[in-house]
Amino acid sequence: DTEVTQTPKHLVMGMTNKKSLKCEQHMGHRAMYWYKQKAKKPPELMFVYSYEKLSINESVPSRFSPECPNSSLLNLHLHALQPEDSALYLCASSEVVTGFYGYTFGSGTRLTVV
Amino acid sequence: QQQVKQSPQSLIVQKGGISIINCAYENTAFDYFPWYQQFPGKGPALLIAIRPDVSEKKEGRFTISFNKSAKQFSLHIMDSQPGDSATYFCAAIYTGNQFYFGTGTSLTVIP
């Protein structure tokens, strides 16, 4: 299995909703990442987990809350989002943090905040 | 500060032509240079990558040329096909430390 699987693929949520994004990989990678990507822009790093511990938080607003329940799973909990948070949210993994062979990305969750 | 500069922002090539995308970097600590291909609604997928001790790497129609002294590297797509139409991101990695994307190039291959 060489994939990173993200669910759901699409999500529409109101500004008062609470929702979660899920990411799963079974490649034995010990580093996992959340990225946010706006149209026609490169992905922007949000969070890095290394060996299931949060190692980098790129000054992301607290309405985004990551969680790493185990080495294969990564969640992103969303609460009280703003319309400007609408974007493609990408999960990625690598053997170790900034591993030598780069990252494997999932297909993303297209989030729309209304 | 943009760690990896990429050009052009967009590129239109005729089918069968050569697509060339260029990237430049400043930090000599970077030790891995991947290229990612991204189709609309999908995540970036690793296309080809090179290490700085190699000047060229070829995989099928895709070639990376690397100029260490100039701190530049480029992606060449030979015999470009409409199916190659996508956004391409170069990247630079400082292993165990940082990962930087270029700004992206939108490639359109006209039939």
pLDDT digits (tens, 9 = 90+) for B23-47: 999 999 999 999 999 999 899 999 9
> Largest Cα–Cα distance in chain A?
41
Closest in B41, B95, B104 to A100, CB measured: B95
Contacts of A3 (CB under 8 A, 6+ apart): A25, A104, A106
Whether the per-residue pLDDT at B69 is higher than 70: the answer is: yes
Q: Assess A106–B contact: CB distance below 8 Å, yes or no.
A: yes
Instruction: Kindly report the number of other CB atoms within 10 A of residue B86's CB atom.
Output: 20
- B34 and chain A in contact, CB less than 8 A: yes
> Among A43, A92, A98, whose Cβ lies nearest the Cβ of B97?
A98
Tokens representing B66 are 């690397």
Peptide bond into B8 cis (omega under 30): yes
- The Cα B10–Cα B105 span in angstroms is 5
Instruction: For the beta carbon of residue B28, count every other beta carbon within 10 angstroms.
Output: 10
pLDDT reported for residue B97: 67
3-state secondary structure of B89: strand
Q: How far apart are CA A74 and CA A25, in angstroms?
A: 9
What pLDDT, in 10s, does the model give residues A55-101? 888 889 999 999 999 999 999 999 999 999 999 999 999 987 776 67
Burial class of residue A93 in the structure, from the number of CB atoms within 10 Å of its CB (0-12 exposed, 13-18 middle, 19+ buried): buried
Q: Touching check for A89 and chain B: CB below 8 Å?
A: no
CA nearest neighbour of A22 among A102, A89, A99 = A89
